[in-house]
């Protein structure tokens, strides 16, 4: 064990127990999920953030790599009331600073009331509060990383084949692995493209669906993905999840804004405006669609009314702000992937009708 200090943007410095040594800084956020810590820690959407778990004991069912959403831990540091030794060993192997023995209830309340804030962390045998403050000082005044996609995206195109009729081009802005799995399970072939894929890259594939993935940070930074949507809307069916919804909305005349503390957890209630049905969803995002542009809002968050689903039937566009694939979380909305692939049928029927004219 070692000393640890957490310096917050509001001026407080909190003493903690150090579990994995190191110095780091980032945006302090929290998740309310009580399971799925492996999935959360390997979710690329947490890149450059410091993740606080509201559930008090993290690591109680071990660490298994088949649950990972990517090949590494993405948060810059992890905070809990208590970490088990097994998860500490895992975080240590990846050199991710970790602290516990902290009142996470108070910390989560502070984030909820004051919003996500910058923080600095220092963990080690001889660290002082000033060390944490110095890390925070490096963070203050810095804008969000404008090329964060380069840190989380595939470096080159990779194709996964299920032997079906549909081919999905997934633009990887920080995609969770379970998105690919959900499409493969439904028989679709999936080509994962880099976040900065070009129009020519997509044209060469001639996919049945162009799908923009989740990812970290501000959707305004993913300009190339937005250009792809602008180029192919109305020509190829379009889908998006999380940051993908925001990118699609911006491309179609909408606007996005940063939320106070975001939605992160596995119990966010979403109402479908057509059916009135409410489903529980998994979410992890700090931005939301403010104005939908050429899209119709079809689903909203029950708690704050933010847009959770956007569609345009004429343009063959469907997006979700939450994670239908869950991992962790409820499977209430897995049929989203069926709806996405159903658009490929519509495309094929349109092509047949056009060729017969």
Active site residues: 242, 323, 325
Cβ atoms of residues 226 and 251 within 8 Å: yes
Fill in the DSSP letter of residue 143. Answer: P
Give the relative orientation of helices 177-185 and 335-356 as an angle to the nearest 10 degrees. Answer: 60
- Binding residue per annotation — 286? yes
Q: Which residues contact 248 (CB under 8 A, 6 or more apart)?
A: 212, 229, 238, 240, 295, 310, 317, 319
- Please name the residue that has the structure tokens 């081919």: 167
DSSP H helices, the chain, are: 37-41, 85-93, 104-114, 129-139, 149-152, 177-185, 199-205, 223-232, 243-251, 335-356
Give, for 50, the enclosing helix (H) or strand (E): strand 49-53
CA pseudo-torsion sign 265, 266, 269, 271? positive
Q: Closest Cα partner for 284 from 261, 301, 264?
A: 264
- Binding residue per annotation — 217? yes
- Binding residue per annotation — 316? no
Degrees, nearest 5: CA angle 142-147-149:
125
- Binding residue per annotation — 124? no
Strands 77-79, 98-100: parallel, antiparallel or unpaired by DSSP? parallel
243: left (phi over 0), alpha (psi -120 to 50) or beta: alpha
- Binding residue per annotation — 329? no
- Please name the residue that has the structure tokens 């410095």: 13
CA-based R_g, the chain, Å: 21
Residue 124: phi, psi to the nearest 5? 170, 175
- Binding residue per annotation — 215? yes
Please give the Cα distance from 46 to 343 (Å, whole number).
Answer: 30
Which residues belong to the annotated binding site for L-glutamine?
Answer: 45, 215, 217, 243, 246, 284, 286-287
């Amino acid at each position: 064990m070692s000393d640890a200090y957490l310096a917050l943007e509001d001026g407080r410095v909190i003493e903690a127990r150090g579990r994995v040594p190191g110095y780091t800084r980032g945006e302090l956020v929290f998740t309310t999920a009580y399971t799925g810590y492996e999935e959360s820690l390997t979710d690329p959407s947490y890149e450059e953030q410091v993740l606080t778990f509201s559930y008090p004991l993290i690591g109680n069912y071990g660490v298994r790599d088949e649950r990972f959403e990517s090949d590494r831990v993405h948060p810059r540091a992890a905070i809990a009331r208590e970490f088990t030794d097994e998860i500490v060993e895992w975080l240590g192997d990846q050199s991710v600073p970790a602290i516990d023995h902290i009142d996470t209830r108070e910390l989560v309340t502070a984030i909820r009331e004051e919003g996500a804030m910058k923080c600095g962390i220092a963990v080690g045998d001889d660290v002082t509060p000033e060390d944490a403050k110095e890390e925070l000082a490096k963070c203050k005044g810095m804008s969000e990383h404008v090329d964060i996609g380069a840190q989380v995206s595939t470096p080159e195109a990779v194709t996964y084949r299920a032997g079906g009729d549909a081919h999905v081009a997934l633009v990887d802005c920080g995609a969770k692995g379970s998105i690919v799995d959900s499409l493969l399970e439904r028989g679709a072939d999936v080509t994962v493209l880099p976040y900065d894929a070009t129009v020519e890259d997509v044209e060469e594939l001639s996919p049945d669906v162009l799908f923009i993935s989740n990812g970290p940070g501000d959707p305004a930074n993913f300009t190339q993905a937005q250009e792809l949507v602008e180029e192919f809307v109305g020509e190829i069916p379009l889908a998006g999840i999380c940051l993908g919804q925001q990118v699609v909305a911006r491309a179609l005349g909408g606007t996005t804004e940063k939320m106070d503390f975001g939605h992160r957890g596995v119990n966010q209630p979403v109402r479908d405006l057509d059916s009135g049905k409410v489903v529980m969803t998994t979410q992890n995002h700090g931005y939301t669609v403010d104005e939908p542009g050429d899209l119709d809002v079809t689903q909203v968050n029950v708690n704050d009314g933010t847009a959770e689903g956007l569609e345009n039937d004429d343009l063959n566009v469907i997006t979700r702000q939450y994670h239908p694939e869950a991992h962790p979380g409820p499977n209430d909305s897995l049929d989203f992937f069926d709806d996405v692939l159903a658009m490929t049928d519509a495309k094929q029927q349109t092509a047949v009708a056009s060729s017969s004219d």
